[in-house]
Amino acid sequence: MSTPKQPGPLTTCIHAGNRKNDVYGAIATPIYLTSNYRLPTDGTPVDWSGIETNIYMRNGNPNQFVLQDKLCAIEGAEDCVTLASGVAALSATFVTFLKTGDHVVCSKVCYSATSILFHELLPEKYQISVTFVDASNTEEVARAITPNTKLVHIETPGNPTTEIADIPAIAALAHKVGALLSVDSTFASPLLLKPLQLGADLVIHSMTKYINGHGDALGGCVMGKKELIRKIKEQAMVNFGGILNPMTAYLIARGLATLPLRMKQYCENAMAVATYLSESPAVRFVYYPGLKSHPQYERAKTLMPNGYSGMLSFDIKGDEATHTKFLSALQLISHAVSLGDLESLIVYTQSDSPKMQYYPEIFRSGFFRFSIGLENAEDIIADLEQAFVSCGLL
Ligand SMILES: *Cc1c(COP(=O)(O)O)cnc(C)c1O
């Protein structure tokens, strides 16, 4: 029996999840700005914490449902929960699946809120113990897992180093002790890395980044098997309350519709910029998973066959003053946090940052995390080149 042909990613991003039942026949899903919905008046009991019916905006709303369905179709996931930020998605996952006394294995290279949750808040408040590992080193992960490990949480590609973990191998290790594997793959977007298909139980994205893609909205999502996502909705979404509001869900679904087009351009631009940087005498090092010099290049090629996304890390030669001059000389590229925006954003981490101890040796004297934008690659490269000249590196 032949299976029906799946639509391609462009078609899926545009059409999946859209509702065709609007009373006025609207093609774009309207924004449902209503906190409350009419309840039955015929004595039918209402589940006040229900997540399946429209009751109250915090229990779920139509724009959130559209976005969730789109994401499931793209990722190939059974279910999805969208929340108010990437951090809300991470913390919802942690509070849903962890309790006092549990052990967690977490990658050393991870988003700062994840790092603070696992280094300080969850151990101090809930006596959760955490072992931090270099997740690109599978043997180190294997040594850290204990019979009491309930969750292995990794980031791939890691923020900010772009290191790649062997997801299938780590999934097998976690499952041996009955632990869940969650993967934050914000850097890749759901188009370029599919952690669920590689064996992970949960995949988390900050939708603020590539999924929304326009640098104007905050959101997060978790995808996985129905019974796991249902728990997050019932426990964390409704009762901790980090719901995604309909207006933002609408914006993010609109951004997501063009993700395949944008991602193609991000990948092309990043490859061109990474190649330029790797050949420049002004540059001390570049980490981009698509460069042969990346320490996990072969693994990236296997896990991300459709491209390496738009994130890279690099450093220039010269002292602190040269770095400051370089940043202030940039004209097109802005010094700003966040990533996956329309425009190129660069952020500098100085050698005295407390996070430096978690990164590979080569990063520790300071580095730039560079989110390559959708401008013409030649213009991004020209901006770097003129900044190198103006700070005396060329
Ligand atoms: C930005 C980011 C987050 C946090 O997302 P917010 O939407 O800012 O809360 C989590 N993980 C990674 C890898 C990120 O880059």
- 54 pLDDT band, cuts 50/70/90, is confident
Tokens of 252: 């993010």
Paired residues of 81 in beta bridges: 222
Phi, psi of 299 (to 5 degrees): -65, -40
Cβ atoms 133, 105 nearer than 8 A? yes
- 89 pLDDT band, cuts 50/70/90, is very high
- CA–centroid distance, residue 162 to ligand 1 (Å): 14
| Ligand 1 pocket check for 155: Cβ under 6 Å | yes
| Overall residue count recorded for the chain in this entry | 394
User: What is the percentage of the chain residues whose pLDDT exceeds 90?
Assistant: 96
- 302 pLDDT band, cuts 50/70/90, is very high
List, in order, residues 6 or more apart from 315 with CB less than 8 Å away. Answer: 283, 284, 285, 362, 363, 365, 366, 367, 368
- 5 pLDDT band, cuts 50/70/90, is confident
Is a pLDDT exceeding 60 seen at residue 1?
A: no
Active site residues: 58, 111, 184, 209
- CA–centroid distance, residue 110 to ligand 1 (Å): 9
Is a pLDDT exceeding 70 seen at residue 2?
A: no
pLDDT per residue as tens digits for the range 356-390: 999 999 999 999 999 999 999 999 999 999 999 99
Q: Which amino acid is at 229?
A: I
| Ligand 1 pocket check for 221: Cβ under 6 Å | no
Phi-psi category of 54—alpha, beta or left, where left has phi over 0 and alpha has psi -120 to 50? Answer: beta
Is a pLDDT exceeding 90 seen at residue 6?
A: no
**What distance in Å separates the CA atoms of residue 103 and residue 126, rounded to the nearest whole number?**
11
Secondary structure (3-state) at 147: coil
Nearest CA to ligand 1 atom 1: 206
Is a pLDDT exceeding 60 seen at residue 149?
A: yes
- Provide the whole-model pTM: 0.97
Edge to edge, what strands does the sheet with 79-83 contain?
79-83, 220-224, 202-206, 180-184, 149-155, 103-107, 129-133
pLDDT per residue as tens digits for the range 314-328: 999 999 999 999 999
pLDDT in the model for residue 308: 98
Tokens of 313: 């890390």
Cα separation values, 86 from 58, 218, 238, 331, 370, Å = 17, 8, 17, 29, 19
Task: Write down all domains in the chain, each with its CATH number in brackets.
Answer: 9-256 (3.40.640.10), 259-390 (3.90.1150.10)
- CA–centroid distance, residue 361 to ligand 1 (Å): 24
Closest atom of ligand 1 relative to the 218 alpha carbon = 7
| Ligand 1 pocket check for 260: Cβ under 6 Å | no
pLDDT in the model for residue 321: 96
Is a pLDDT exceeding 60 seen at residue 133?
A: yes
